[in-house]
Amino acid sequence: MLVFAAATARFAPGAARVMGSARLMIDLVIKFFPMTVADEAQIEKLDERAFGPGRYARTAYRLREGVPPDLSLSFVARVGTLLVGANRMTPILVSSTPAMLLGPLTVEPAFRSQGVGEALVKHSLDAAREKGHGLVLLVGDDDYYARLGFSRVPRGKIIMPGPVDPDRLLFCELQPGAFDAASGKMRRA
């Protein structure tokens, strides 16, 4: 069942395949769907290729351990049946204040720089806002996430429970006042 396919991105590799004298243009439509449990194996393979086995030692991964992602806020990108991108949203707590942790955000290398990553994040933020969530946090490059509405968390306001470059801890406020209300240590929900 196609649950959600608004905002599609078009991926045209540019090179036309030459078949004898005929030229076949490849024009692939990328569609976005809420994540399902059945997507898990394909997403794991994508994350393994992007981040390697060391990913499990990262502090953000440890915050997600044993906490299922909120599938209604997490999205995958597909070309036909091929999964080409994914983003998870996992509930966390900042002290006792609920928030969402965004990521891992991963796009298959051949499909990068087509807006897939940006669309996955936007779908997650829109869905979270609609559901009344106030605050989204992530660990990532502000060079990438600033255009999607994320800013650096001032040092010391929110503390990760393990080693993280503090300049990579970013937030996006979805409801006014939600960021002011959150301070202290991040922990599993």
Ligand X SMILES: CC(C)(COP(=O)(O)OP(=O)(O)OC[C@H]1O[C@@H](n2cnc3c(N)ncnc32)[C@H](O)[C@@H]1OP(=O)(O)O)[C@@H](O)C(=O)NCCC(=O)NCCS
Chain residues that interact with ligand X, rule: CB under 6 A = 50, 103-107, 112-118, 140-141, 143-144
Burial environment of residue 160 by CB neighbours within 10 A (0 to 12, 13 to 18, 19 or more): buried
Q: Are 99 and 137 in contact (CB under 8 A)?
A: yes
User: Smaller CB distance to ligand X: residue 55 or 185?
Assistant: 55
User: Smaller CB distance to ligand X: residue 45 or 112?
Assistant: 112
CB of 1 to ligand X, least distance (A): 25
HEC profile of 18-74: EECCEEECCCEEEEEEECCHHHHHHHHHHHHHHHCHHHHHCHHHHHHCCCCCCCCCC
Residue in the block written with tokens 């004298």: 21
User: Smaller CB distance to ligand X: residue 74 or 106?
Assistant: 106
Between the alpha carbon of residue 189 and those of residues 62, 91, 95, 157, the distances in Å are 12, 6, 10, 19
CB of 181 to ligand X, least distance (A): 25
* Separation CA 47–CA 34 (nearest Å): 18
Residue in the block written with tokens 């999205």: 75
CB of 57 to ligand X, least distance (A): 15
User: Smaller CB distance to ligand X: residue 142 or 173?
Assistant: 142
Rounded to 5°, angle at Cα 74 from 53 and 188: 65
User: Smaller CB distance to ligand X: residue 81 or 113?
Assistant: 113
CB of 185 to ligand X, least distance (A): 21
Q: Pairing between strand 158-159 and 184-188?
A: parallel
CB of 18 to ligand X, least distance (A): 27
CB of 167 to ligand X, least distance (A): 13
